[in-house]
Structure 1
Amino acid sequence: MGSSLLLPLLCAGVVTVATLFLPSSFASEAYPSAYGSGSCNVELIPVKREVYADGRIFDITHPYTPNMPTFGTDEGIGEVIWLEKSMKNGSITNNSHMKMPTHTGTHVDSPGHVFDHYFDAGFDVETLDLEVLNGPALLVDAPRDKNITAEAMESLQIPKGVRRVLFRTLNTDRKLMFKKEFESDYAGFTEDGARWLVENTDIKLVGIDYVSVATYDHIVSAHLPFLEGREVILVESLKLDDVPAGMYNVHCLHLRLPGAEGAPIRCILIK
């Protein structure tokens, strides 16, 4: 263990001399940023990143903050995390409490989201195929002057055989996910664009960069073609800024929430 990582733990009385015999790479590989060295008065400054492994791994999940936008309100999502038990107040550990809507932030939709008979039958997020959510994926830039219509989909000329596509739109350029207020003029799929994708491509994973894959005016009608056949999985509110377009391996894992038609999801891209 490097001295910059060991010192704060020694100062806090967390580690003992036995810890000194751990391999030197044990902590530095997981926490590469410097946590201070020298005296016990050093300030601890963790570094939070979105690009890892010398630019090979991109975190495309938005952090959950009180000002994150959510559908239909200008108030943001509000407090998601609060410290329910605090060591400063006498608890033996720090324990946080979490509460938020399932369709907030980077999240996944299941067929029960827009089909009540699927919801009743149990087609929740536990039924989603992890093989579809993980594998080779294409990040494309959608036309910036229109929504993703059938015409726009055809113009992208996505090759047959491509099963996972992440669509970067004007939403990313406008930084809509960084604004607390919900913007109803966001870019997304129209009904004909969704139907064209289902009928003319091999795409089974559709990702997009705002709170809904469907435009505001097609909020339900554009979801229906995607989810009706229970083969296409939708991932919404992806963080796609500063990621070059092209082929990657995508890895998306959502929370197992029995009975839920949506769930938060963590997604990364690997070159």
Structure 2
Amino acid sequence: MAGRRGARSGRGWDAIPPRAGAGMASDDAAAEPRRSSGRRGRPGGEEPPSGEGPPSGGEPQRDQDGRIRGRSEPPRSEAEVAREICLRQLAVRPRTRAELAKALLRKEISEEVIAEVLDRYDEVGIIDDAAFARAWVSSRHHGRGLARRALANELRQRGVDPEVAGEALEAVDDEAEAEAARALVDRKLRTASGTPDAIFRRLVGMLARKGYPAGVAIRAVKDALAARDAEAAEFAEALDADALADEAGGPES
């Protein structure tokens, strides 16, 4: 019996299994996979690099130039950047060579690249100062009623060569300028109020601001007033257009 009791108290079939202790993992713990405390698919809970990939369920994040954030792109040449700037400018309205050059200088494009890009645009007709000047004169004369002097000033501000501008301004001759002045006055007279003298001065000033010479402006307003009513006609009859033009600085002032 003692032998049998000894056998039962040993390490045989009925021995009490040892407890899981320090340095000994239980079978369940060994079998259970290690859980990550981070995001699924990223070991150790690493955060994704800033800007990597689109946010969950959304569109890719883009910068102000439309490029996807975090996506590396090959560096662009200075000429490519210059062409992109020019095309953005031209998408708004036609530009002269001088206007494009000024825009490129503001973006710190070198003068060599500016000349290279704009020369190429000249060759293929993307920029054409002569065509620009003709279109500008036609639009601003018929649309805004501007006279040659005002048109010449606007073309000069946009860097158009004086000779090129002069050729474009030939489309507005003396007759066209006088007709445009009279049309402006007739339109303003429909809603004008006040004494004939006040109306006369106001309309002559309006034409002067649009670039009309004093002689053209005074005659246009005098003729329009003469056809308005008896009071205005009497006032106009007393006006000496030539003398007033000379006083203002000459017929072409």
- TM-score surpassing 0.5? no
Greater strand share, structure number = 1
TM-score by length of 2: 0.20
Q: Which structure dedicates a bigger proportion of its chain to helix?
A: 2
The alignment's TM-score, normalised by the length of structure 1, stands at 0.20
Q: Which has the higher contact order (CA 8 A, sep 6+)?
A: 1
